């Protein structure tokens, strides 16, 4: 059965289907906050919409609401003072179950059409969402706009199109006829109904609340499941706006808006979340966050299909280069971007003790390490420019790690506090860089130090570097591996190390593409092949287990030959 919203967005859906098959560049959403793409007043309107929500209750009418909750504080130095509806999980589950009954019966084209319309509306709200992301995560505005808006919407659309691709392969009906020799054949008509798994629970993170939550949320919606969205207590607003828009679309489309609900919680409400996550009604869980919480969900939420993205140790191997300068410039940008508060940010940089080969001759380990430090220092020397790259520190735990790690290696570059010209109370810190030795300091560099923290590590050889990279990815987890070499044999060995470690590999990045970045419809974010994540954003496996196929069959007389 067709649905008007499916028809409305079918051209976009067809283009997205082609994109996931060809894996080239494609996006329907403009990543630049330009008036041409979003309208002359969009930026001002979005900022005004964000500011209008401060210091007051957030308008979201959900069943069972009683009182408010919310303690968000902008990393740029002020409290948001937004009160979100406080709802008991029992009320949300009951409402979601009731809403899903109607939603399930509408079928895949309705689910996909509604999901596509929600994403289109989110794109229209990109500036409002950008300011909300900026002032909950600490991202600078441009990153908040791109990663929180169009790039997150790309990932949402990617999940939807993978869901549609999986569901459309299943025919609605079939005629089955089995020959019986001299006797009349056995004949049956069969019907195949796609059935959602049940209620999904999406648990957001505090650094990329939309980018990391949208894939699971929209994979659930596009396969007919109701969704309870549980933001991180420090970053509720971006997902609250998302839920409000989703509920508006559902209502306009004739569905119960409780197909999507928001569970806002206070800090230290872990017991409530654990209790909810293990309830029988919750059949799908998407989680981004620390390893301990992800492991707990995988172990205890046995009734649900659990998708997790957890901690990892991302690595760079430097073997050789035509020229060192563009290498260290690219690495420095990756280290400084959003103060390293990215799941894809590099931490360990391996350089042979004997140095690296370049067109100008061999450059020593110490010279390579110092060049990286100088590139970071140059990039962050002007506070007014640096803060547009580093953003602000999201939470005090990051600052504590900077202080803790400072004594664990030989200093290359100290972390500096910067004064933000527009937000003097913002917490802004440049990266800290330390020298370590692979033979002596493995206990330090095999754990994740989330934030603006990186190590330049002396290894016995490039072979040793690649062995470390593959082994650490396989055992500790990693989302990215970057290699610099002019030797094809080394690059072949890097491919093997990446395959062994189950980690995405980037080779010789010296231009405007950085290892931190992941492009929807082309790059698979995470592999599910190492401890950093048990799924990939997005592939067929990420969506196919969110629905089941229920068949009915009926004996019928043999059909007459055509």
Give the separation between CA 34 and CA 292, rounded to whole angstroms.
Answer: 41
* Inter-residue contact 282 to 201 (CB < 8 Å): yes
If one counts every other C-beta atom within 10 angstroms of the C-beta of residue 522, the result is 15
Residues 153, 157, 158, 164: what is their CA dihedral angle, to the nearest 10 degrees?
Answer: 170
524 domain residue, yes or no: no
CATH, residue 491:
3.40.309.10
Give yes or no: residues 328 and 263 share one domain.
Answer: no
Give yes or no: residues 409 and 275 share one domain.
Answer: no
Per-residue pLDDT of the chain (562 residues; tens, 9 = 90+): 568 999 999 999 999 999 999 999 999 999 999 999 999 999 999 999 999 999 999 999 999 999 999 999 999 999 999 999 999 999 999 999 999 999 999 999 999 999 999 999 999 999 999 999 999 999 999 999 999 999 999 999 999 999 999 999 999 999 999 999 999 999 999 999 999 999 999 999 999 999 999 999 999 999 999 999 999 999 999 999 999 999 999 999 999 999 999 999 999 888 999 999 999 999 999 999 999 999 999 999 999 999 999 999 999 999 999 999 999 999 999 999 999 999 999 999 999 999 999 999 999 999 999 999 999 999 999 999 999 999 999 999 999 999 999 999 999 999 999 999 999 999 999 999 999 999 999 999 999 999 999 999 999 999 999 999 999 999 999 999 999 999 999 999 999 999 999 999 999 999 999 999 999 999 999 999 999 999 999 999 999 999 999 999 999 987 776 6
Give yes or no: residues 127 and 148 share one domain.
Answer: yes
Give yes or no: residues 140 and 278 share one domain.
Answer: yes
555 domain residue, yes or no: no
Give yes or no: residues 96 and 242 share one domain.
Answer: yes
3-class SS shares of the chain: helix, strand, coil, % to 5: 45, 20, 35
166 domain residue, yes or no: yes
At residue 159, the 3 state secondary structure works out as helix
304 domain residue, yes or no: yes
- Taken as a whole, the chain contains a residue count of 562
Nearest residue to 211 (alpha-carbon basis) of 344, 347, 21: 344
CATH, residue 200:
3.40.605.10
Give yes or no: residues 362 and 274 share one domain.
Answer: no
E strand map for 430-538: 432-437, 453-459, 480-484, 504-507
542 domain residue, yes or no: yes
331 domain residue, yes or no: yes
Nearest residue to 515 (alpha-carbon basis) of 353, 254, 340: 340
* pLDDT tens digits, 120-138: 999 999 999 999 999 999 9
Give yes or no: residues 122 and 216 share one domain.
Answer: yes
Number of domains in the chain: 2
Concatenating the DSSP letter of every residue in 233-291 gives TTS-HHHHHHHHHHHHHHHHTTS-GGGEEE----TT-HHHHHHHHTSTTEEEEEEES-H
Domain boundaries, position 329 = 315-507
30 domain residue, yes or no: no
32 domain residue, yes or no: no
Give yes or no: residues 128 and 206 share one domain.
Answer: yes
């Amino acid at each position: 059965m067709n649905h008007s919203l499916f028809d409305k967005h079918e051209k976009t859906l067809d283009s997205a289907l082609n994109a996931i098959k060809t894996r080239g560049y494609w996006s329907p959403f403009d990543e630049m906050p330009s008036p041409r793409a979003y309208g002359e007043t969009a930026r001002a309107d979005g900022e005004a919409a964000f500011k209008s929500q401060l210091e007051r209750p957030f308008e979201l009418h959900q069943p069972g609401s009683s009182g408010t909750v919310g303690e968000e504080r902008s990393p740029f130095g002020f409290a948001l003072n937004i009160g979100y509806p406080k709802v008991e999980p029992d009320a949300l589950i009951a409402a979601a179950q009731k809403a899903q009954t109607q939603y399930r019966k509408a079928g895949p084209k309705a689910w996909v059409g509604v999901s596509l319309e929600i994403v289109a509306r989110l794109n229209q709200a990109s500036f409002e969402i950008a300011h909300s992301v900026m002032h909950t995560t600490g991202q600078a505005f441009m990153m908040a706009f791109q990663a929180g808006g169009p790039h997150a919407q790309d990932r949402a659309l990617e999940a939807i199109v993978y869901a549609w691709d999986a569901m459309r392969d299943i025919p609605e009906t079939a005629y089955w006829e089995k020959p019986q020799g001299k006797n009349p054949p056995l004949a049956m008509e069969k019907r195949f109904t796609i059935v959602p798994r049940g209620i999904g629970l999406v648990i957001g993170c505090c650094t990329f609340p939309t980018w990391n939550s949208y894939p699971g949320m929209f994979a659930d919606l596009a396969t007919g499941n109701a969704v309870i969205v549980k933001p991180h207590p420090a970053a509720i607003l971006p997902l609250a706006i998302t839920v409000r828009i989703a509920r508006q679309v559902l209502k306009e489309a004739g569905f119960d808006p409780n197909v999507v609900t928001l569970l806002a919680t206070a800090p230290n409400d872990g017991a409530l979340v654990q209790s909810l996550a293990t309830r029988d009604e919750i059949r799908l869980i998407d989680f981004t966050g620390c390893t301990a919480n992800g492991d707990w969900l995988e172990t205890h939420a046995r009734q649900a299909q659990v998708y997790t993205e957890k901690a990892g140790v991302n690595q760079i191997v430097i073997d050789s280069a035509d020229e060192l300068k563009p290498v260290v410039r690219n690495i420095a940008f990756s280290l400084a971007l959003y103060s390293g508060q990215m799941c894809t940010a590099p931490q360990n940089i391996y350089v042979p003790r004997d140095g690296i080969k370049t067109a100008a001759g061999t450059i020593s380990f110490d010279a390579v390490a110092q060049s990286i430090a100088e590139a970071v220092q140059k990039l962050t020397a002007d506070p007014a420019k640096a803060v547009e790259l580093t953003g602000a520190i999201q939470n005090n735990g990051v600052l504590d790690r900077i202080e803790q790690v400072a004594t664990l290696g030989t200093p290359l570059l100290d972390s500096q506090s910067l004064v933000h010209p527009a937000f003097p109370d913002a917490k802004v810190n440049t990266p800290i860089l330390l020298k370590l030795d692979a033979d002596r300091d493995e206990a330090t560099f095999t754990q994740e130090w989330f934030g603006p923290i990186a190590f330049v590590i002396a290894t016995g050889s490039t072979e040793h570097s690649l062995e470390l990279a593959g082994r650490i990815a396989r055992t500790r987890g990693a989302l990215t591996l970057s290699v610099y070499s002019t030797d094809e044999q080394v690059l072949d060995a890097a491919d093997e190390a990446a395959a062994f470690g189950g980690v995405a590999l980037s080779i010789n990045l010296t231009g405007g593409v950085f290892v931190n970045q992941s492009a929807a419809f082309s790059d698979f974010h995470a592999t599910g092949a190492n401890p950093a994540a048990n799924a990939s954003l997005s592939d067929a496996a990420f969506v196919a287990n969110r629905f089941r196929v229920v068949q009915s069959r009926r004996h019928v007389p043999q059909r007459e030959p055509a």
